Amino acid sequence: MAFNGLGTLQTMVLIQGEERSGGLNVEIGGFDGLTSLELAYVDDHRICCFFIKTVDCTSLEKQSPLFSCGELMQNTFLRVSMWLLGTSAVFGNFFVFIWRLSERNLKREHFVQSFLVMNLAISDCMMGIYMLILAGYDLYFGKLYFQVADVWRGSLMCKFAGFLSLLSSEASVCLLVLITLDRLFGIVFPFSRLRLGRLSVKIIVCIIWVTMAILSLAPILLTDITTDFYGLSDVCIGLPLITQPTNYVIHQGGIQSSLTSHQFSIPVPQDSKPAWYFSIVLFLGLNLALFLIIMVCYIAMFIQVKVSSKTVHRNTERKDEIKMAIKMAIIVGTDFLCWMPIIIMGILSQTGAVVIPVSVYAWSAVLILPINSSINPYLYTISTLFTSKNSKKRPPPTTKKTPLTRSI
């Protein structure tokens, strides 16, 4: 070991100067011989990750506010969850797409719903692919991920993964709004001419995909080094959970002894600003508005079904209300769990009320954003399949339901 025999060293300065290369060649445990080290100054922030936690390590370079020592996925739970949820989202939504694409579903009278859910499956499948990309690169980088973190966040694959994630999440929530509005027209206004048809739904869905694709590509085409949207975090998502320094104040520091003298500048961040205004408008503005639309629509549908069900037999009325209430709770609840934590954390972070830890990004990418993508195929299609099979086994009802009580 290079530092054997220096067990009494308390302060260290590791500065390579202006000629240093971007590579980092340090072995794990390379500083273990420095048992008394208390203070270290380095010109590469990654070197701080090799010291034990009791060492006060100061970097002389500006660094990303999201840099952290460790792996891409910070623990086994996140790593396993990423593989399981990613695989579930890909295969579950692929099944939904194939089933909805079948001729018998697209030619039925409920073409609009089948077409919308089929596109929803495509968008949710993209989120699964995004998760599997991160899981694969986490396995590839291993424990030394922090050494290549800066390179990874600026790589084309990270930008591609972020593009898939943003396109998936925004297209998915827009399609959920469209599905909700179609059901609202059918339940609250069953005899109105204001309905989605085959041509109109294709045009609207096409507009959604084109618009969201442009929004997802914009951060790649218009970004610069200091405001890289997809490079804001290790998981390649520009969530509005951090702020960036507006400027740096240079503090002069140094170490002097009878044998040597070292003088250096330490950049200290001052004040803060949003890391990317685009993410604030998108995640805190647009997604909050869309979630509120979904919630209000389902409340209106529930009220309408409750009123109209008075004309149906009491037992049937009670069962329909319970089924609808449960399904509505799941739909609105998954939307709430997907977006509200991010919206609340974003508001608190941007107002300076709290400082969001770096680890929250990984948890958000694994357990918050993919909620809809993993549950939607089971909620909108697979559960319907089981319901249809069970209904075929029952005798036909003696009372005829009104159009207002159709399944949502």
Q: Is residue 395 part of a domain?
A: yes
Cα separation, 233 vs 359, in Å, equals: 10
Q: Is residue 257 part of a domain?
A: no
If asked whether residues 323 and 207 sit together in one domain, one would say yes
Cα separation, 259 vs 261, in Å, equals: 7
If asked whether residues 108 and 33 sit together in one domain, one would say no
If asked whether residues 50 and 84 sit together in one domain, one would say no
Q: Is residue 207 part of a domain?
A: yes
Structural domain ending residue among the three candidates 9, 33, 61 = 61
Q: Is residue 242 part of a domain?
A: no
Running DSSP on this structure, what letter comes out for residue 403?
A: G
Angle formed by the axes of helices 76-101 and 111-141, nearest 10°: 150
If asked whether residues 85 and 36 sit together in one domain, one would say no
If asked whether residues 155 and 206 sit together in one domain, one would say yes
Cα separation, 157 vs 134, in Å, equals: 10
Task: Report DSSP letters for 288-299, one per residue.
Answer: HHHHHHHHHHHH
Q: Is residue 244 part of a domain?
A: no
Cα separation, 335 vs 328, in Å, equals: 11
If asked whether residues 39 and 95 sit together in one domain, one would say no
Q: Is residue 381 part of a domain?
A: yes
Which structural domain range is residue 102 located in?
76-237+274-405
Running DSSP on this structure, what letter comes out for residue 404?
A: G
If asked whether residues 147 and 222 sit together in one domain, one would say yes
Q: Is residue 265 part of a domain?
A: no
If asked whether residues 124 and 29 sit together in one domain, one would say no
Which pLDDT score is estimated for 203? 95
Structural domain ending residue among the three candidates 9, 29, 61 = 61
Q: Is residue 83 part of a domain?
A: yes
pLDDT digit string (tens) for the chain, length 408 residues: 566 666 677 777 777 655 555 556 666 666 776 777 777 777 777 787 777 777 777 777 666 666 777 788 888 888 898 899 899 889 988 988 888 777 565 666 578 888 888 898 899 999 999 999 999 999 999 888 888 888 888 889 999 999 999 999 899 889 988 988 888 887 777 777 777 888 999 999 999 999 999 988 888 887 654 456 777 778 888 777 766 655 556 666 666 554 555 665 666 555 556 556 777 788 778 888 888 888 888 888 878 877 776 665 555 555 655 565 566 667 677 777 777 888 888 788 777 777 777 777 778 877 787 877 888 777 766 656 655 555 555 555 554 444 444 444
If asked whether residues 96 and 4 sit together in one domain, one would say no
Q: What total number of domains does the chain contain?
A: 2
Query: DSSP 3-state assignment of 58?
Result: strand
Rounded to two decimals, the pTM is 0.77
